[in-house]
Structure 1
Amino acid sequence: MNYFTIALQCIVAISILNVWLIQNKKPTQWRGGGATTIIEEFKVYGLPVWMCYVIGTLKVILALGLLAAIWYPVLKQPSALGLALLLLGSIAMHLKIKDPLKKSFPAFLFLIMCLYIAFGV
């Protein structure tokens, strides 16, 4: 059992759940463009509102998968890779609207953590 990987799983999962379930209607310095909510952020990216719900549902399920993977390791790699793919999309959206690189930092950091979870020791 690798405690460092488990810690990363918890950090990523709890952070994703916080963003999508608790902070979704609050402004943060990381939101794309001048958006103050997640729905506004998707509009800034030129994406339909329904996609916000699809992406949010996927992120919540995959974050829960990372937590469940502590006891069911078979879920670890698919959950981490699924989140990595979605985080890559987040970075692409920030680049698309020419946000300052700083706004992509959390997504980039969590992408690196997810790749470590999926392929690390």
Structure 2
Amino acid sequence: MEENNIMDFENIDYIQLAAQLIVAVTLLNVWLLRFNKSTQWRGGNASSMKEEFKAYGLPNFMMYLVGGLKVLFGLGLIVGIAYPVTINISAIGIVVLMLGAIGMHIKVKDAPKKSFPAFTMLVISLLILVLNN
């Protein structure tokens, strides 16, 4: 890596790059494209993000806060391809948010499979942290 914190494209770790893109694209898909769509992963019996946060007993502003942070951290992983300084803070933020998501699924007694996406994003984000340091 160069001294000015810009990615040295000759020494790219393709596993880390793939991990960053998988997490970023997944988060952006969920929060920007599938926000009002029903999925098998939604908490409780929710069919949209608003219903899911309601099922968790969380106020509306938390949905926007969590969503904004997930989009921000997802974009941080993409920006991190060129400016690696954003990678660790983004990955740490995602780890914290995924732990919270898993906790919410447990709170509403969801089947363990509903936590699978959050658990997967948690593990991949931890991998990003390991590979980036």
TM-score of the alignment, normalized to the shorter chain, above 0.5: yes
Structure whose alpha-carbon radius of gyration is higher: 2
Equivalent residues in 2 for 1:5-84, closer than 5 Å: 5-84=16-95
In structure 2, the partner of 1:100 is: 111
Q: Once the 2 structures are TM-superposed, how far is the Cα of residue 120 of structure 1 from its aligned partner?
A: 2.3
What per-residue deviation string (whole Å, max 9, x for no partner) do you get for residues 61-94 of structure 1? 0000000000001111110010110011000000
What per-residue deviation string (whole Å, max 9, x for no partner) do you get for residues 33-59 of structure 1? 000000110000000011100100000
Q: Once the 2 structures are TM-superposed, how far is the Cα of residue 118 of structure 1 from its aligned partner?
A: 1.1
TM-score normalised according to structure 1 size:
0.98
Identity %: 51
Question: Unpaired runs of 5+ in structure 1?
Answer: none
**Correspondence 1:119 to 2:126:** no
- Equivalent AA in structure 2 for residue 100 of structure 1: A
- Equivalent AA in structure 2 for residue 64 of structure 1: L
> What is the aligned residue count?
121
Question: Unpaired runs of 5+ in structure 2?
Answer: 1-11
Q: Partners in 2 of 1:71 and 1:31 — Cα distance?
A: 33
